Structure formats: C-alpha cells, structure tokens
C-alpha cells in the first residue's frame, strides 16, 4: 500500500502559537489529581484546592440520560438508584463529572425538557434525598455533578402556567409568558409566522372560561412547553433561586438548555429573511447576556465556583464566543465540530476555527461527538452522509456499522487528544449504534411534528446493556423487567460485561484513553502544534512529547521511526497507520518548537 510520509517537524500556525501562549497561563493548567486505589483503579480524587477551581477546563464529562442508564428499582425505567449502583463503573471509566439530563417532575412531553417543578425529582427516578446522596457519593469518588436547567420554557403543567391559563388576558399571571391576541378578524391567525425548532407552528390558542377562543401563547418547541418572558423579574429571580437551590446541594454546575433562545423581541416582528447579528426576534439577542452575567454572579458566590455550560447552537463563531466572555458562561458545546463530515480537511479546519474563536475570550473548547439529540457516532460515521443535521434524519438509511465503529473509535481518540474538555454521551463508550425503533415505541415530539418523516431522537436513548443475558441485558435490577425501550438482541455483544472481558473492545479503548489523558499533563495542558502527515490525516503534538495522528484517507500513513505507540484505535499495519484509525504516540521533542 502507498503511504504518506509523516514528518514530525511541527508547522506551528500563528493560531497554534497563540494557543500555546494561552495554554501556558498557569490558570489553564489545573485538574484534579487522582490517586489510584489499592486495586489500581482511579477511584478517589485527591484534590489540590488551589487547582480545583479550574477542573472544568480539561474535564471529561459523562452525560447520563437517567431514564436509560440503569434501573435500580426494577420497573424497566432507569433511576437514581441505578446510577448510584453504577458509580464505580463511571469512576473506573475515568470521568471527572456527570451531566444529568432533566430529572425533575415532568409530564415528559419532551423527555423532561418540560419541567413542572425545579426543586424536586421525578418520582420515576427517585426523590430529592436520593439525588443529594447521589451527588455526595459521586463527589466522594472525585466525580462532580452537572444538572440541566431549561430557561426558555417550562411545562404547561407548571403552576405558573396553570395560573396564567386560569387568569384573564392582561393579568399579571399571564405576563410571565407570551400571551398575545391573534391577528385578523376574530383573532384566529397566529401572532407571528415563527417556525418551531421542532417544525410546525409556535403559537397555540387558548380557550376562555366561557368556551370561546382566547389568546395565543408562544412556544418555540411543543405546546406543552410555553416560553417564559425573560423581561419579567419573577422569571429572573426564580431561576437564580433554582440555581442556588441546587448549588447548595453540592451541584458543581449547570448545563443551560437552548441557551440562545430565551430573550424575544417583544414587538413580535415577522421573521426577517437574513437578520443581522442580534436582530433575530428570538435567537441570540444581545440582551441575553445580562441573564448569564447574573447567573455567573450566582455561580461565583460559592467557595468552589459553580460552572455554566451553554447549549448554544449558533452558526456565527464570533457570536458564539460572546457567551464565553469571562463574566458569562465557562464553556459551551462545540456543535460545529460534531456536525462535520468525516473528512480530514473539514475536521481540521473546524478544530482550528474552534481554537481560534475561543482564544480571545480565554475559554477552553469542548469536544462533543454526540448527545441525547444526535444520531450515535458509530451509525453516523457508517453512512454516506457522515455529517449531522436534524432535518436530514430519515428511516431506513443504509449504514455500514463496521466502518462506522472503526471511525468512531478513531474519533474518540482524536477528540480526547484535543485541548479543552471532553463530553461522552452514555453508551458511546460501548459503541452503541442508533436504534431504528418501531414507530409504536417512539415518544419523541420531533418525530410526530415532522409528520412521521423524521425518526426522532429516541434511537439514541435506548437503555444500556450491562450484561450479556436477561430480558433487559442487565439494565434492570429485576431480571424479568422489560426496558422502557426495546434493546436490539445483538446488544448482548456490546454489553459492559462482554466488553470488560475483551481487551480490544470500545470500552477498554475509552478506559485506556481516559487513563492516559489523566496521567499525561501534556495531553491536558500542552500546546497544540499541527504536524504534517499529508492532506488526509489530522496530526498534532500536544506539548513536547505527545502526538496524535488520525488517518481519514484511503491509504496507510507511515509512522515516524522515533516514536513509541501509546494507544491505537485499531490494529496498526506494521509501522503504518491504516485508514480510519488514530494512534497516540510518545515522540522525541521537536527541536524547532519549544513546548
Ligand atoms: C435542547 C435539548 C433537547 C430539547 C430542547 C427543548 O435542545 O437538548 O433535548 O428537546 O432543548 O428543550
């Protein structure tokens, strides 16, 4: 096979040089130190308090979708008891924090992103005491807790909305939401033409007490998720109070849902064709930053400051970075990288852009391959269209899972080697594919609001397989319990038990990768220097002696002679790196760059 010659002499771009300078700042270098327990597992953190403040800059954060993680009560639905039982698994994996999807009481019109009570736990998951115990037990193992908050909307069952519905138009209770009269004769047309993120209309008409048609209310998502009016002081105070409620219980940070949406233009104009930055009526309005500055103030009240992580879907990189200014959020999800196709030039450009856009605000990048909304990586990378867009999801898309798995393994090492924090969505460490569920099981409103064209997001929310046998493959503590979504029979092979016994499994790859990342200071804080490994590879150094090379081409890439292999995502071909593989190397320091 032909191969590209890899030169390990760095070509340091101006951006990388600046990155090196930024990373050299002492405040960027901090992480929790981990002391191995007797059996060698990194089960207990010994933290230098001086470093604890900056843990989030390089953290590995594991996303727990509670309903599908582990079922401790035995009813087929995941719960907090299940998570508590599996904390040793998470500690052994080597994660620094857990992000929990919404765990609050909710009618589940959108999987809990319709919160009915922010100060309690959904009874199907457990109760508040269990949540407090879980937070404390995880922390004992050196694992912090991040919870989801959803400022844009609440559940239609929330007392505020019920009160608003029962009140007259123009009443104070309605002011916390966006109630408007309809347009046209009889007010039977919606107040605006805005389109929902879930497709379809953004307004629902209410019915008056006497049965006549009433006002309309705004919901950027489903009608069960009325949008809050962030110009109202009650809305601001309530959320700041909710933050304190959870921070007081030891929560280390919040993931802020739909973070660019909460502020609306109260004049409700039609959607402009191509709005200038800040001019869109409900996306990324300039006033939104006041909210997060206030939240940052709350987070900074704590001795160990709490962190804010934004779900900010914005195409404009400069506008994205504004959320990460020093007095706003700590980090935000880097969806730009996640949605890119499996192509070397495109991914490399995305990495470079990401580092460049974060640099001026001093915030670390985040690396994300998926979450509870996104097609699983092994499926995505095994398709012709390896990028991601919500409106491109279809039933019956042909998928090469073997290819996808190879690439997902390579992507896992690539992202774990990049500077910043790393997110792992539960089950990605097992290489679970997206499940094409029978329509009768689908609950996701995205499916229904697309008229059944979009399979929706439940295919990445299927309960985890823990053991090889049993009705729920060990997901449920009760062996005969049926999981709330069916697991494919082949998942027996992907179970934790099976993968623990296989040194080449995806799980072992993740464990080894996270362990190396923890051990090697250069992997966490070393400057990134690009290396030249040809147009089809992404190759870089971190610090002086660590290098990562990903081959996205069709030909082997030759490895340098002066390097030893630390870890590879697949078998090497002699001294060459095969297509769709990543290798981590210990290399000689480069005399041309000072790292
Ligand atoms: C975010 C969540 C998604 C939810 C939506 C509405 O995008 O990740 O799951 O449906 O917000 O809250």
Per DSSP, helices labelled H in 304-432 are 317-322, 335-338, 344-358, 377-380, 401-416
Which of 112, 258, 457 is the best mutation target for the ligand 1 pocket, counting ligand atoms within 8 Å of the beta carbon and taking the most?
Answer: 258
Say what the pLDDT of residue 21 is: 39
**How many angstroms separate the alpha carbon of residue 234 from the centre of ligand 1?**
23
Give, using CA atoms, the residue closest to atom 7 of ligand 1: 258
Distance CA 528, CA 520 (A): 14
- Atom index in ligand 1 nearest the CA of residue 114 equals 12
Is the dihedral angle over the CA atoms 517, 522, 527, 528 positive or is it negative?
negative
- Specify the residue with its C-alpha closest to ligand 1, atom 9: 373
Question: Ligand 1 center to residue 524 CA distance, Å?
Answer: 30
Compute the distance from residue 161 Cα to the ligand 1 centre, in Å: 20
In this prediction the pTM is 0.93
pLDDT recorded at residue 442: 98
Kindly state the tokens that stand for 496: 């934790």
Paired residues of 532 in beta bridges? 7
Which is the closest atom of ligand 1 to the Cα of 153? 12
Q: Which helix or strand (DSSP H or E) is residue 7 part of?
A: strand 7-10
**Structure token digits, residue 331:** 């980090």
How far is Cα 592 from Cα 417, in angstroms, rounded to an integer? 22
Instruction: Give strand pairing partners of 315.
Output: none
Query: Which ligand 1 atom minimizes the distance to the CA of 445?
Result: 10
Mutate to test the pocket of ligand 1, among 99, 152, 257, 459 (most ligand atoms within 8 A of CB): 257
Whether the CB-CB separation of 323 and 292 falls below 8 Å is answered with: yes
CA of 131 to the centre of ligand 1 (A): 22
Residue 111: beta bridge partners?
A: none
Three-state SS sequence of 485-545? CCCCHHHHHHCHHHHHCCCCCHHHHHHHHHHHHHHCHHHHHCCEEEEECCCCEEEEEECCC
- The sheet that has 203-207: what strands, in order across it? 179-180, 213-218, 203-207
What CA–CA distance (Å, rounded) separates 484 from 443?
A: 11
Distance (angstroms) between ligand 1 centre and the Cα of 495 equals 28
Q: Whose CA is nearest to atom 12 of ligand 1?
A: 113
Complete edge-to-edge strand list for the sheet that includes strand 60-64: 331-332, 307-310, 253-256, 144-149, 97-100, 60-64, 421-425, 366-368
Ligand 1 centre from 521 Cα, in Å? Answer: 35
Ligand 1 atom 2 nearest Cα: 257
Residues 6 or more apart whose Cβ sits within 8 Å of residue 482: 76, 471, 472
Mutate to test the pocket of ligand 1, among 68, 99, 110, 225 (most ligand atoms within 8 A of CB): 110
- H or E segment at 233? helix 233-247
589 CA to centre of ligand 1 in angstroms: 45
Please give the pLDDT value at position 591: 74
Residue 221 CA: nearest ligand 1 atom is: 6
Three-state DSSP at 50 gives helix
pLDDT of residue 25: 35
Q: Which positions are annotated as active-site residues?
A: 257, 301
Ligand 1 pocket test, pick from 101, 112, 373, 443 with the greatest ligand atom count within 8 Å of Cβ, gives 373
327 CA to centre of ligand 1 in angstroms? 25
Residue of the nearest CA to atom 3 in ligand 1?
373
pLDDT of amino acid 53: 79
Q: How far apart are CA 256 and CA 140, in angstroms?
A: 25
- Which residue's alpha carbon is at the smallest distance from atom 6 of ligand 1? 113
Atom of ligand 1 nearest to the CA of 373: 9
Tell me, what DSSP letter sits at residue 322? H
pLDDT value at residue 116? 98
| Blockwise average pLDDT, block size 10, the chain, 595 residues | 46 45 34 31 44 88 99 98 98 98 98 98 98 98 98 98 97 98 96 95 96 97 98 98 98 98 97 93 98 98 97 95 98 98 98 96 98 98 98 97 98 98 99 98 98 98 97 96 97 98 98 97 95 96 97 97 95 97 95 58
Burial classification of residue 175, based on how many CB atoms lie within 10 Å of its CB (0-12 exposed, 13-18 middle, 19 or more buried): middle
Q: What does DSSP assign to residue 183?
A: B
1-24+527-595 carries CATH number 1.25.40 = no
**Which pLDDT belongs to residue 30?**
27
CATH architecture of 53-154+232-513: Alpha-Beta Barrel (3.20)
Residue 563 in tokens: 């390097």
Dihedral angle sign, alpha carbons of residues 74, 79, 85, 90 = positive
- Counting from 1 in the atom list of ligand 1, the atom nearest the Cα of 372 is 9
Closest ligand 1 atom, CA of 371? 8
What is the distance in A from the centroid of ligand 1 to the CA of 24? 36
Domain boundaries, the chain: 1-24+527-595, 53-154+232-513, 159-218
Q: Choose which CATH entry (3.90.1720.10, 3.40.50.1980, 3.90.1150.10, 3.90.400.10) describes domain 159-218.
A: 3.90.400.10
Which residues, listed in sequence order, are joined to residue 528 by a DSSP beta bridge? Answer: 542
The answer to whether 42 and 36 have CB atoms below 8 angstroms apart is yes
SS3 annotation, 137-165: HHHHCCCEEEEEECCCECCCCCHHHHHHH
pLDDT of residue 51: 59
Residues with CB under 6 A from ligand 1: 110, 113, 150, 221, 257-258, 311, 372-373
Mutation to probe ligand 1, out of 113, 196, 333 (largest number of atoms < 8 A from CB): 113
Task: Determine contact, residues 568/581, Cβ cutoff 8 Å.
Answer: yes
């Amino acid at each position: 096979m032909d191969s590209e010659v890899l030169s390990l002499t760095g070509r340091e771009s101006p951006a990388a040089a600046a990155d090196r300078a930024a990373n050299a700042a002492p405040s960027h270098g901090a992480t929790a130190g981990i002391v191995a327990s007797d059996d060698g597992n990194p089960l207990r953190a010994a933290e230098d308090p001086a470093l604890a403040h900056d843990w989030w800059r390089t953290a590995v954060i594991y996303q727990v979708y509670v309903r599908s993680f582990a079922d401790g009560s035995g009813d087929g639905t995941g719960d907090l008891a299940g998570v508590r039982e599996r904390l040793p698994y998470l500690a052994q994996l080597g994660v620094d924090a857990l992000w929990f999807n919404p765990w609050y009481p909710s009618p589940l019109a959108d999987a809990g992103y319709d919160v009915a009570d922010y100060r309690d736990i959904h009874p199907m998951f457990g109760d508040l005491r269990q949540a407090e115990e879980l937070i404390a037990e995880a922390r004992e193992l050196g694992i912090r807790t991040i919870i989801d908050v959803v400022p844009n909307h609440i559940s239609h069952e929330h007392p505020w909305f019920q009160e608003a519905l029962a009140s007259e138009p123009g009443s104070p209770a309605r002011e916390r939401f966006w109630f408007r009269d309809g347009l046209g004769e009889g007010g039977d047309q919606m107040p605006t033409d805005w389109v929902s993120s879930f497709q379809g209309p953004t307004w629902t008409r209410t019915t008056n007490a006497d049965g006549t048609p009433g006002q309309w209310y705004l919901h950027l998502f489903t009608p069960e998720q009325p949008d809050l009016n962030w110009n109202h002081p009650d809305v601001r105070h309530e959320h700041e109070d909710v933050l304190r409620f959870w921070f007081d219980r030891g929560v280390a940070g919040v993931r802020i849902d739909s973070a660019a949406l909460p502020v609306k233009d109260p004049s409700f104009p039609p959607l402009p064709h191509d709005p200038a930055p800040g001019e869109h009526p409900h996306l990324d309005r300039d006033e939104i930053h006041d909210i997060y500055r206030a939240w940052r103030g709350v987070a900074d009240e704590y001795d160990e400051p709490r962190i804010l992580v934004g779900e900010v879907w914005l195409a404009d990189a400069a506008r994205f970075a504004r959320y990460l200014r020093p007095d706003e959020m700590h980090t935000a999800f880097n969806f730009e990288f996640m949605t890119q196709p499996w192509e070397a030039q495109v991914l490399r450009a995305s990495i470079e852009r990401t580092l460049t856009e974060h640099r001026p605000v001093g915030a670390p990048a985040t690396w994300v391959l998926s979450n509870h909304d996104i097609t699983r990586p092994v499926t995505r990378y095994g398709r012709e269209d390896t990028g991601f867009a919500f409106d491109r999801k279809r039933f019956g898309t042909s998928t090469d899972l073997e290819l996808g798995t190879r690439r997902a393994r390579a992507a896992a090492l690539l992202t774990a080697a990049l500077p910043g924090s790393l997110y792992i969505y539960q089950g990605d460490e097992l290489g679970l594919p997206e499940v094409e569920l029978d329509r009768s099981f689908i609950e996701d409103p995205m499916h229904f609001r697309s008229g059944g064209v979009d399979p929706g997001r439940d295919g990445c929310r299927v309960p985890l397989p823990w053991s090889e046998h049993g009705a729920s493959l060990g997901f449920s503590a009760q062996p005969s319990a049926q999981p709330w979504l069916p697991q494919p029979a082949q998942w027996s092979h992907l179970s934790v038990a099976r993968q623990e016994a296989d040194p080449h499994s995806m799980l072992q790859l993740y464990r080894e990768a996270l362990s190396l990342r923890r051990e090697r200071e250069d992997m966490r804080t070393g400057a990134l220097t690009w290396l030249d490994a040809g147009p089809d590879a992404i190759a870089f150094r971190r610090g002086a002696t660590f290098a990562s090379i990903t081959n996205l081409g069709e030909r082997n890439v030759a490895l340098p002679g002066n390097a030893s292999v630390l870890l590879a995502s697949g078998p090497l071909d002699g001294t060459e790196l095969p297509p769709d593989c990543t290798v981590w190397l210990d290399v000689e320091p480069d005399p041309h760059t000072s790292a």
